[in-house]
Each structure stands twice: as C-alpha cells, then as structure tokens.
Amino acid sequence: MIYRVLARKTPYEPKPRSGRPPVTDIRSDRWIQRMASSQKMSVREITRASRLQISKNTVHRRIIESGYMIHAKMACRLPLSKLHISKRLQWAPNHMSYGYK
C-alpha cells in the first residue's frame, strides 16, 4: 500500500469528505480564540465584531474546540457559622425597608 502511494506519479491527495464545509477558516478560528482570551469579550460581542456571517453557536463551538473554555464545577460555599447567623438576624430588621416609612 505504501509502495503504491510512493510509486504513483501524481501526488497523493486525500479524498474529499462529505458534509457541509466549515464557515470559518483556520485564521478566523485563531482570531475568535484570541478575542475570547485576550479581550474577555462575550460570544455575542465576538460575533458582532467579526466581519463574517456566523452565528453565536458557531463562535461558541470554535471557542470550545480551541480548548480555551474549560467547564468546571464551582466550589461549594461554606455554611454560615452560628455567630454569622445571629449577626445577620440582628442586622436584618434594622435594614429592612419596603419603600415607605
């Protein structure tokens, strides 16, 4: 198999794959990743700033594919101590207002 490819006079090219071609090229994918990492822009802002007709889902997918966004669970908050609970209960009635006095 390898000998046949090397002995062939025409260069080897992979066969075209089926499916819809991607809207963005490698250069625009890098630009999207750069905007997401350096500018701290939202997906909507990146979509508006790009000169391409792409959807927010496409931008979000490119950011995830780049490996920049990592989904992780947030740390659990510590429960309130007895002292904090009592101080909150003392503070709340004094600062409660319903818009009239």
**Residue bearing the bigger pLDDT, 6 or 82:** 82
Number of domains in the chain: 1
pLDDT in tens, 28-46: 999 998 888 887 788 899 9
Query: Worst-scoring range by mean pLDDT, 3-7, 34-38, 51-55, 72-76?
Result: 72-76
Is the separation of the CB atoms in 28 and 55 below 8 Å? Answer: no
Pick from 83, 52, 68: which is nearest to 60 by CA?
68
Range of the domain at 63: 23-71
CA triple 17-21-24, angle to 5 deg = 140
- Stretch 4-32: mean pLDDT, rounded? 84
Domain-embedded: residue 81? no
Domain-embedded: residue 95? no
Domain-embedded: residue 18? no
Cα 81 to Cα 77: distance, rounded to the nearest angstrom: 12
- For residue 89 the two structure tokens come to 């209960």
DSSP per-residue string spanning 37-66: III---HHHHHHHSSS---HHHHHHHHHHH
Domain-embedded: residue 32? yes
